[in-house]
Amino acid sequence: MTPLNRLRLLHVLVAALAMFLVGFLTYGVAFRDLWSQQTLIDRGLVSPAEAVGLTGGALTAELARIPSQLPQMQSIALGFIVYFLTAAGLSVMLRLARPASLAGAVRLSFVIWAAFAATTLAYNVVYSSESRILFMLDLGHLLVGYLLAGVILFSFDRSAAKRS
């Protein structure tokens, strides 16, 4: 393995961490209560009227009632693996397409998001009756994550290519 290939693995790791941070900010900070309430409604554990009144510890306690829920640390670890594989796939696509500019890398990342992530998420609404609010949160989270990862991967690969 050449130093450049090892460096790309580091790039993928940084992009995955950025995507993970976007997920944390989306679901753990900015839209925590909304996401949690909608998840409980989606699972049929509370009514929309009940969900609105749930916040803080009461909301966390209700979330713990979701059947077959993975332990939090296991979810976080598996989620990071998903981000890593996504970033690796983006890295491969960017290397194959070789966009000439950062704007080109962002456009490609958007096309990959639209063609694969958004359409795959749409199955949850079309066939599983997932909340449209959850769908929009997931779409936004993945859009920002894909675009940010594309910027990171392109920037790192561009600077590594200049050094070699």
Q: Please name the residues in contact with 66: beta carbons below 8 A apart, sequence gap of 6 or more.
A: 39, 40, 43, 45
The tens digit of pLDDT for each residue in 122-136 reads 999 999 889 999 999
pLDDT band for position 159 (cuts 50, 70, 90): low
**All structural domains of the chain with their residue ranges:** 3-163
**pLDDT tops 70 at residue 120:** yes
Q: What is the pTM of this model?
A: 0.91
**pLDDT tops 90 at residue 72:** no
pLDDT band for position 115 (cuts 50, 70, 90): very high
Written as one letter, the residue type at 93 is M
pLDDT band for position 68 (cuts 50, 70, 90): confident
Distance CA 29, CA 9 (A): 29
Q: Are 23 and 145 in contact (CB under 8 A)?
A: yes
Name the nearest CA neighbour of 91 among 156, 164, 2.
156
Written as one letter, the residue type at 42 is D
**Is residue 110 exposed (0-12), middle (13-18) or buried (19+ Cβ within 10 Å)?**
middle
The tens digit of pLDDT for each residue in 1-42 reads 555 566 689 999 999 999 999 999 999 999 999 999 999 999
What six digits make up the tokens of 147?
């675009």
